[in-house]
Amino acid sequence: MQDEQGLVRQAQQGDKDAFAELYEAYFDKIYRYVVIKIGNKVEAEDMTQQIFLKAYQSIRSYKWKGVPFSAWLFRIAHNQIVDFFRKQSKRPTVRLEDVVVVSSDNPLRTVESRFDIERLRTATLQLTSAQQEVISLRFAGGLAIAEVARTMGKSEGAVKALQHSAVAALRKVLLVGEESEER
């Protein structure tokens, strides 16, 4: 991909192809972030689309000033998710098991992964909101620690500590889940 800062500048001047390149670079990351946060495939697809439309409409207002484009984009995603939970009604939902998993060619592994993502989402719900955010941004969104820090408005040290506590808490929850399944 061309230099991100250059692409953003071109997109701000109305270059659709530049925006399309940014879109391609971040589409899967944003989708994963949304799926893990809301756990609904259909809503996640719609929301991913909304996030990029919003980003296109407001890209002129984006200023570097030390905030990476990724942090700005994930901030939009975060706000959309906050809106979603505010407006959520009793509509039927599509479970995470319908999400395509591509980590392996082995069908058995795929079934295992399906199980894992659902269990992972359930487990993350037991973490604090800051821990959930770190897991979602770092692992689903694929952001580096510095980008997570900018997105969350925290220092890198604080995010490293949060990541440590989040992974430790997640392990505890998963272990408890496994024990209760064995009984």
Partner 1 sequence: MRKVKKDKQLNTILEECLERILVNGETVAQCLERYPEYAAELEPLLQTAMITSEAVDIQPSPEFKARARFELRVEMARADEKKRRSVFAWQPRWAVVVVTVVVVVLLGGGTVLAADSDNTIPGNPLYAVKLATENVRLALSSSDISKAEIYAALVDRRVAEIERLIDRGKTELAQRTVNRLKRYLATMSRLSLAIQSQIGPGAEDVETVTPDEPSVKPAVSVQEVAATVRAEERAQLQVLWGRYIVNHPDEIRAMLEEASPAVKPALTRAIIDSVNSYVNSYQNVLQKLKESQSSGQTDDTSDQEADDSSGEPDTSNQQTNDSDREPGTSNQQSGNSNQQPGDSSLTPDASDLQSTTIK
Task: List the interface residues with partner 1, window 131-170 (CB under 8 A).
Answer: 135, 138-140, 144-145, 157, 160-161, 163-164, 167-168, 170
Contacts with partner 1, 62-101, as mask; x by CB under 8 A: xx--------x--xx-xx--xx--xx-xxxxxx----xxx
Contact (Cβ atoms closer than 8 angstroms) between residue 169 and residue 130: no
Of 4, 25, 50, 130, the one binding partner 1 (CB under 8 A) is 50
Please name the amino acid found at residue 159. V
> How many residues sit in the footprint of partner 1 (CB under 8 A)?
77
Interacting residues of 117 by C-beta distance below 8 A, sequence separation 6+ = 36, 96, 99, 101
Nearer to partner 1, 29 or 183 (CB): 29
- Measured in residues, the chain has a length of 183
Nearer to partner 1, 17 or 179 (CB): 17
Of 22, 36, 137, 149, the one binding partner 1 (CB under 8 A) is 36
Question: What is the separation of C-alpha 84 from the centre of its chain, rounded to a whole number of angstroms?
Answer: 14
What sign does the dihedral 103-46-21-30 (CA atoms) show?
negative
DSSP string, 131-146: HHHHHIIIIIS---HH
**DSSP conformation class of 140:** I
Binding to partner 1 (CB under 8 A) within 96-135 occurs at: 99-103, 113, 116-117, 119-120, 135
* Interaction between residue 25 and partner 1 (CB under 8 A): no
